[in-house]
């Protein structure tokens, strides 16, 4: 029920709506719940509404943190050897 | 798929698993409750459980809105359809058992006009297309699904759609978490051990991370708001383990790409414009939980199905032997239920936890992992 998919806004349409694309599958969604979402932004789509915009910077940081953990783990393994 | 595939990477998962194994203290048990059904499914679908050390346990919480809706409310929705209204609802609700072995899908087969919709926009469209019929949107869900219902009420009022109303069953996450932490099973009986919480992903995208500060303080349990992808769950597990090891109980946010401390204020404002707190609401499994649900404000009374129609007070009960209530509190596992996998399967669900794609029983059954549990518990029988 709370599941939502990240889709890219490809076109703004009438009445606070937009066309969102998910791997080429497009659907008209409502932007009534988000402030300032624009073409090119990724939004979380849930029951036909964009719930929030996804921050590319924060996604990058999270992935980087996981990668750094990898480096940390690598060091630890070396230390153990 | 961007923002999905990179959070399912197998190699990073293995490394995260190694880090968790390295940091989990073998002298401790880590009982981590995922509130959300979305997390339960990520854990089962991607085999996250199998990557965990033996002392890291997932306790499944009540965060499946279909599962916690008590039978009398479903009986009421069927009653509305039987009175001649077009009842629109999300697909998850259709097969949930009502009383007397009924369900929305069976009532539909018997002639009631019940329609599955993807969005509240579809329900509004049906109301516009059928001005001579009453159209009721059977609204369920947590904070994620509430703002779209709020939009539909605002649109209906703006368009003066006289035939549209909402049967509101929206519930609140923080109230349910608090109820579980205060329950005798957790506080006194010690039947449920909870050392930390995974905070919901998309509920938190709306309400923000701030509402969880209270639990962390009051109950001295760490909370990590976690995304729904497997790497999100694993990284959050590591964050919880680190906090538990250090004796900390803070709210941390792993899902920063979507969740902020303050949440989505535009959506919050819409919700508070349209809804107010109910004094109490019955949850399957948890009973009456104070201030745990929303009702429609007086200003939108014309669009409130509970005010517009007379509904019978149903006393419908769960199927005998169904352990959904205990499973929703984390007291029992699906495999503890006698009906699980015998008379109760997703094809023929007896209880709500087997119906919903987010229910714990459906998660156990769908990915076949319960067979491993049985094999572990009864090695001889499994071998025969």
Number of other residues whose CB lies within 10 A of the CB of residue A10? 12
10-residue stretch averages of pLDDT, chain B, 384 residues long: 93 94 96 93 92 95 89 96 97 91 96 97 98 98 97 98 98 90 78 91 96 90 96 97 97 97 97 97 90 97 97 86 89 92 90 88 84 60 44
Radius of gyration (C-alpha) of chain A in whole angstroms:
18
Query: Residues A15, A31: contact at Cβ < 8 Å?
Result: no
What ipTM was assigned to the predicted interfaces of this complex?
A: 0.90
Across the interface, whether the CB atoms of A3 and B22 are under 8 A apart is answered no
Q: What is the pTM of this model?
A: 0.92
Complete edge-to-edge strand list for the sheet that includes strand B114-116: B114-116, B86-89, B135-141, B164-170
Residue A75: is its pLDDT beyond 70?
no
Integer angstrom CA distances of residue B372 from B49, B84, B364, B382, B383: 11, 48, 10, 9, 12
* CA contacts within 13 A on the Cβ side of A34: 25
Tokens of B262: 């303050």
Q: What are phi and psi of B319, to 5 degrees?
A: -60, 140
A77: pLDDT strictly greater than 50: no
Minimal Cβ distance to B148: which of A48, A54, A66: A48
How high is the pLDDT of residue A80? 43
Return the minimum-mean-pLDDT range out of A38-47, A70-79, B136-145: A70-79
Dihedral (Cα; B28, B34, B35, B38), 10-degree rounding? 180
Taken in order of first residue, the domains within chain B and their CATH numbers are: 1-318 (3.40.50.11740), 324-383 (no CATH)
Helix B265-274 to helix B146-159 angle (10° resolution) is 60
**pLDDT at residue A78, as a whole number:** 45
Domains and CATH numbers, chain A: 5-80 (2.30.30.140)
Six token digits for residue B282: 């019955």
Higher pLDDT, A50 or B319: A50
Q: What is the DSSP letter of B46?
A: T
**Residue B383 confidence (pLDDT):** 43
E strand or H helix that includes residue B108? helix B104-109
> Which tokens belong to B43?
């854990």
Q: Residue B313, exposed/middle/buried by CB under 10 A (0-12, 13-18, 19+)?
A: exposed
Partner-chain residue, chosen from A5, A6, A61, that has the shortest CB–CB distance to B256: A61
Sign of the torsion angle spanned by Cα atoms B364, B367, B373, B379: positive
B120 and A48: CB-CB below 8 Å?
yes
> Of B126, B174, B175, B170, which is closest to residue B148 (Cα–Cα)?
B170
Mean per-residue pLDDT of chain A: 87
Residue B251 to residue B177: CA distance in whole angstroms: 14
A79 pLDDT above the threshold of 90: no
Whether A62 and B220 have beta carbons less than 8 Å apart is answered as no
Strand partners, B167: B138
| Partner-chain contact B257 A62, CB within 8 Å | yes
Query: Residue A66's closest chain B neighbor by CA?
Result: B12
Contact state of B266 with A47 under an 8 Å Cβ cutoff = no
Q: Whole-angstrom Cα distance, residue B365 to residue B360?
A: 9
Q: Does A58 touch chain B (CB under 8 A)?
A: yes
- Model pLDDT, residue B110: 97
> Which 3 state secondary structure label does DSSP give B293?
strand
A34 touching chain B per CB within 8 A: yes
Look at residue B377 in the predicted model and tell me its pLDDT: 61
Separation of alpha carbons A54 and B215, rounded Å: 27
Q: Three-state DSSP class for B76?
A: helix
For residues B155 and B143, what is the distance between their CA atoms, to the nearest angstrom? Answer: 19
Nearest to B257 among A59, A72, A73 (CB): A59
- B-chain CB neighbours of A1 within 8 Å are 37, 64-66, 90, 92, 140-142, 144-145, 356, 358
CA distance A68 to B9: 15
Partnered with residue A20 across adjacent β-strands are A9, A27
């Amino acid at each position: 029920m709370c599941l939502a998919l990240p889709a890219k806004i490809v076109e703004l349409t009438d009445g606070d709506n937009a066309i969102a694309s998910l791997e080429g599958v497009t659907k008209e969604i409502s932007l009534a719940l988000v402030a300032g979402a624009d073409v090119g932004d990724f939004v979380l789509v849930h029951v036909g509404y964009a719930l929030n915009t996804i921050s590319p910077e924060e996604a990058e940081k999270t992935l980087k943190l996981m990668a750094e953990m990898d480096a940390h783990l690598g060091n630890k393994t070396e230390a153990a050897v | 798929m961007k923002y999905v595939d990179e959070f399912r990477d197998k190699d990073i998962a293995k490394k995260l698993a190694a880090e968790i194994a390295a940091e989990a203290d073998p002298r401790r048990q880590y009982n981590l409750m995922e509130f959300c059904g979305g997390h339960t499914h990520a854990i089962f679908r991607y085999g996250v459980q199998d990557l965990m050390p033996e002392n890291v346990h997932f306790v499944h919480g009540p965060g499946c809105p279909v599962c916690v809706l008590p039978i009398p409310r479903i009986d009421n929705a069927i009653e509305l359809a039987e009175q001649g209204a077009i009842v629109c609802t999300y697909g998850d609700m259709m097969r949930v058992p009502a009383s007397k072995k009924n369900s929305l899908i069976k009532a539909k087969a018997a002639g009631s006009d019940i329609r599955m919709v993807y969005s509240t926009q579809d329900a509004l469209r049906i109301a516009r297309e059928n001005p001579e019929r009453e159209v009721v949107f059977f609204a369920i869900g947590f904070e994620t699904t509430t703002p779209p219902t709020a939009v539909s009420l605002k649109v209906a009022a703006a368009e003066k759609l006289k035939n549209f109303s909402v049967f509101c069953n929206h519930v609140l996450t923080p109230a349910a978490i608090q109820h579980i932490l205060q329950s005798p099973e957790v506080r006194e009986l010690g039947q449920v051990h909870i050392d930390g919480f995974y905070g919901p992903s998309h509920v938190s995208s709306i309400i923000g991370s701030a509402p969880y500060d209270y639990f962390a303080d009051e109950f001295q349990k760490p909370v990590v708001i976690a995304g729904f992808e497997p790497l999100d769950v694993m990284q959050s597990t590591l964050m919880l383990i680190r906090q538990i090891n250090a004796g900390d109980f803070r709210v941390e946010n792993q899902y920063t790409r979507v969740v902020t401390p303050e949440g989505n204020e535009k959506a919050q404002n819409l919700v508070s414009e349209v809804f107010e707190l109910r004094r109490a609401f019955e949850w399957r499994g948890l009973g009456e939980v104070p201030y745990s649900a929303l009702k429609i404000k007086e200003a939108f009374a014309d669009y409130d199905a509970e005010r517009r129609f007379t509904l019978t007070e149903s006393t419908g009960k769960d199927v005998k032997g169904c352990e959904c209530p205990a499973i929703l509190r984390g007291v029992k596992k699906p495999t503890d239920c006698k009906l699980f996998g015998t008379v109760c399967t997703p094809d023929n669900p007896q209880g709500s936890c087997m119906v919903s794609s987010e229910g714990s029983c459906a998660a156990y059954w769908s990915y076949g992992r319960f067979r491993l549990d049985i094999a572990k518990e009864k090695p001889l029988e499994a071998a025969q």
